[in-house]
A = this chain, B = another copy of it.
Amino acid sequence: MSKVFDYAEVGKHNTADSCWVVLYGKVYDVTDFIAEHPGGSKVILQLAGTDATEEYDPIHPPGILEESLKPEQHLGTVDPDTLPSTEKSPAEMGAAEDDGPVDLDSILNIDEIEEVATKNISKKAWAYYYSAGDDLTSKKLNNTVYRQILLRPRVFVDCTRCDTSTSFIGNKVKLPIYVSPAAMARLAHPDGEWGIAQACEQYGAMQVISQNASMTPEQIVADAKGGQVFGWQLYVQNERAKSEAMLARMKKLPAIKFICLTLDAPVPGKREDDERSKNVGANLPVRAAVQEDASVSKTSTDAKTPSPPKNMGVGQSLFWGTAADLTWKTTLPWLAQHTDLPIVLKGIQTHEDAYLASLHAPQVKAIILSNHGGRALDTAPPAVHTLLEIRKYCPEVFDRIEVWVDGGIKRGTDVVKALCLGAKGVGIGRAALFGLGAGGKEGVARVLEILKAETETCMRLLGVERVDQLGLHHINTRAVERDVYDGPAALERPSLTSRLMAKL
């Protein structure tokens, strides 16, 4: 029979020499585990001798605890009567509970979803989701660039039918909208990435699973219906063996249809809102679920990798261990050795790289034009710029591979505009996470419901029935075109007048 401890007794074991924690009512001796903890020893010691459930839960996948600890480290249970009562601040209680649950139907657009979520979720989660590079210039551009494009509605066209279905590299979906690989969904809601999958199933939308998801891929796809389409995002690790193990693991999940290799963040961007939030509450041991795979994490003393810097935000923590040495020449062949799945390259930001990617078909089947939600390099171009660049310099890319885009999608009109410019589909990241924060899986479903309805209204008012009918003649992009890259030659116009003028 399990031994029962007083919480006061647990409190005495609060040092590196004897470190106990309470998790889900059970008492664990984690003294031997401190050095092995992927998130570092410091965070464990901060919680030593306490009930760490609230800190532990949202950032560890269910079941990982049992995998990581030996049976004898489970000492028993805590006497619930001895636990301190968990008090919420009046503000917290008032805001979240007194108002009662939000009526999701009363939320009319994506901005309102964000508003509701911002009230619901923790400051730390908000900071992680909201933050972007430096001065948020690219984040703001991502959205405003769509507003600069005007639509050209055609009239006297029968618009009784409207069909938003399409396909992504051969996989049929009901929406040209997919959920981008966004990390740490359980920070927003316990439904986490599984909840996103449930909502996607309801609307026939594709989901790309983040390598830094807060649930394991197996958990996320567990309840997938037949025909539901997933991709899996790969951040190549400095320890290639870790990545190879992950690729092997994906082979066992037939719902995963492609590998999405993220290229736009070989080093983390500077997200100041996120860095600031490190001071909010304890410095949580943020570790993505997938990296906890026991067989790998136990041997993770990587000689090449220095110890992590002090005071990282969530974003910086997740980057720890990510490889910065990927190249066209070496990485794609290595990938070919370890997976047969098609490759989707995420983070293309110039027509030059789009063109290079197209030369790697058929291994590369699609590219995602993305500035990482404005989270990597500030003042990087929005995807619309890159779409226009490709169209200007190398439109043949659209014939060779699929082009997807993400960043700044807030309205159905944004979706339609991207498709008019040649995108096969658009990804939403923050919108899905804020949907989760606003109402769990139902909140994500509401996000998809809103965007689907807006997309249909837009298509109908343009006089278009199917997404493949959308084209350049449905939009006016002049306000954007004049800002699109025009080649370095444009700056090099040596003039004979300079000598004359110098005499002025």
Contact = CB atoms under 8 A, between A and B. Distances in A.
Nearest to A381: B150
Contacts of A486: 476, 478
Interface in A457-488: 457-458, 460-462, 471-473, 476-479, 481-488
A461 B353 CA distance: 14
B150 A353 contact: no
A477 to B, nearest CB: 7
Interface stretch (A17-25, A27-35, A321-329): A321-329
Contacts of A381: 150-152, 476
Interface string A336-359: 000000000101111111011000
B472 A478 contact: no
Interface string A474-504: 0011110111111110111111011101101
Q: Please give the count of copies of this chain that the complex contains.
A: 4
A149 interface: yes
Contacts of A265: 461
B394 A495 contact: yes
Given A267-B461, A411-B135, A494-B393, A156 B353 contact: yes
A270 interface: yes
Contacts of A345: 155-156
A55 interface: no
Return the 3 tightest CB-CB contacts between A and B, nearest first. Answer: A472-B488, A394-B498, A155-B263
Interface of A: 105-106, 108-109, 134-135, 137, 147, 149-160, 263-270, 272, 275-276, 279, 311, 324-328, 331, 345, 347-353, 355-356, 371, 376-381, 385, 388, 391-396, 411, 413, 453-454, 457-458, 460-462, 471-473, 476-479, 481-488, 490-495, 497-499, 501-502, 504
